[in-house]
Structure 1
Amino acid sequence: MSAALTVWVKGIGLWAPGTPTWHAFCEVATGATSPGEFQRPAADVLPANERRRAPESVLLAAAAAGQAVTMSGLDAATLPCVFASAHGDQVITDYMCETLATAPAELSPTKFHNSVHNAPAGYWTIATHCHAASSAVSGGEETFGAGLLEAATQAVADDRDVLLASYDIAGTGPLGGMTSTTGPFASALVLSPRADGAAIRLDITPEPGNSAHEASGDAWMDGITTSNPSSFAVPLLHALAVARPAALRVAAARGLDLHIDLNTAP
């Protein structure tokens, strides 16, 4: 067994269909209410003009990241960040593939600009004036776990707080058929190597394995969990919402799991 990476959760953000904020998700997770109507991601951290032009993937990532940083009380400008997505912006990728195949001279420079995998990280760092390191991670079906491992490793190795944002959107066209992503989802965590008053500790241990995604029995939550790779974070987020000790496994690569012990402060 590898040594555990111990990090503390200082901030959480989330956007899902029916729960556009972490607070709304907590109310559903604890049974206080039911999912509501679809709401556009409120990426308030972005300037108004950027919000109007930004694609859905950017809005999702910025909305979740903004919530997490606000909860943490930290300055986004100082936070290293990890942005994780299995497929990036599938709508734009599908558009580019179709346009290149049928009318390449008509390819939109703006669409191309937003097609790169680190576009959300770029929007975020520019909007928040962040000069700390940023990373863009893609790991297929194991993307959320890969991003979590990267962010936790950075936090412990560099002894500083790190922002993780994981996001994916529904696929479209032939690409959507290949990826089988059916809905949008984004979450974010601010992880710290120190408690500093944080109430929840994660002990993350990489171990050999290939975890499957087990149904919880909650139809809405299971539907979200299987909608795209980034939503495989839902079991961990549910455990954070109910704030009770738990042990979970999250796939971080083919043949590699993260065993996560979630502990709450006494």
Structure 2
Amino acid sequence: MLEATIEGIGFWGGGLPDWDSACALLRSGTVPEVAATRPSPQVLAANERRRAPLTVAVALEAAMAACDAADRSPKILSSVFTSTHGEQSITDYMCTTLADDPRAISPTKFHNSVHNAAAGYWTIGTGTHAAATAISAGPHSFAQGLLEAMVQLHAGEDAVLLVAYDGPGSGTLARVAPSEGLLGLAMVLSRTPCIGLPTLQLDVLQEKPDLPADTEDEGVLARRLAGNAMQPALPLLEAIALDREAVWMPAGEQQWLRLGIHHD
């Protein structure tokens, strides 16, 4: 069993600009009357914020919010960035341009096409020299990102920043890799017990468990962002906000995670 304290959470998506507003929706059904339509991560200089793709912007917005909530300096945190598709608008542009006119590829868009673009912007913006990992595992990207972060803690890291994000599909690519809206979430996970903060315990199962009857029911947050490729992360956030004790999450064709949540 792997264990971690959840020191801080960051969130942006579905008209909810932060974790507090996501909790308000879950607990009382209230939503902000006015919300920004695009995240604006202050960790980037103004010119970089303008150029950054949407997925980079939402990832960094959530990441910094989690660090602030945990009162942790991002300069000393190792990080795990996980995304199902990365920035689809850039990937679709690259594929279309390579097919039509390969010499017309934009260098700026090319450097944003790599899957670790958000991690790269983060390390530059925060000035950190800590390790940054970028992964993708299809529909199991959040589960595998969480597992990676927990393993890093078990291997000796004092704290790890987990960032998960996905944006809307684009062009022809959206037909085979569908996703809607913009979603970013982040957690600072640590090995330091702390009274008043939830503790996460993770077990890896090699077959589908016998799940409680209500496990398949989607909560209001998951329904609100149902079309986004990172939606599988939302049941865990709902469980944390509503003081539930367990979440089961598929992590592969023959792998499941059982996540126990202890609320002090």
Map of 1:23 onto structure 2: 20
Equivalenced residues, count? 259
In the TM superposition, what are the counterparts of 1:102-251 in structure 2 within 5 Å?
102-197=100-195, 199-209=197-207, 214-216=216-218, 218=220, 221-224=222-225, 226-242=226-242, 244-251=243-250
Q: 2:219–2:238: 8 Å Cα contact kept in structure 1?
A: no
The 1-side partners of 2:34 and 2:168 are apart by 18
Following superposition, the deviation at residue 204 of structure 1 comes to: 0.5
Gaps of 5+ in 1: none
Larger mean Cα displacement after TM superposition, 46-55 or 137-146: 46-55
Q: 1:142–1:229: 8 Å Cα contact kept in structure 2?
A: no
Taking a change above 3 Å as real, the CA distance of residues 120 and 159 of structure 1, as seen in their structure-2 partners, is closer
Flag the structure with higher helix content: 1
Map of 1:253 onto structure 2: 252
Alpha-carbon displacement from aligned partner over 1:11-53 (angstroms, at most 9, x marks no partner)? 1001112101111111111115136555211311111111011
SS where residue 101 of structure 1 aligns?
A: helix
Taking a change above 3 Å as real, the CA distance of residues 79 and 140 of structure 1, as seen in their structure-2 partners, is same
The 1-side partners of 2:159 and 2:148 are apart by 13
Which residue identity is paired with 1:8? T
Which residue identity is paired with 2:123? T
Which residue identity is paired with 2:217? A
Q: 1:10–1:198: 8 Å Cα contact kept in structure 2?
A: no
The 1-side partners of 2:151 and 2:79 are apart by 12
Following superposition, the deviation at residue 216 of structure 1 comes to: 2.3
Gaps of 5+ in 2: none
Alpha-carbon displacement from aligned partner over 1:152-190 (angstroms, at most 9, x marks no partner)? 110121141000000011111121111121221111000
Structure 1's consecutive aligned runs of 4 or more residues displaced over 3 angstroms after TM superposition are: 35-38, 209-213
The 2-side partners of 1:185 and 1:209 are apart by 29
Q: Tell me the C-alpha RMSD between the 2 structures.
A: 1.8
Q: 2:74–2:128: 8 Å Cα contact kept in structure 1?
A: yes
Map of 2:60 onto structure 1: 62
Following superposition, the deviation at residue 197 of structure 1 comes to: 4.0
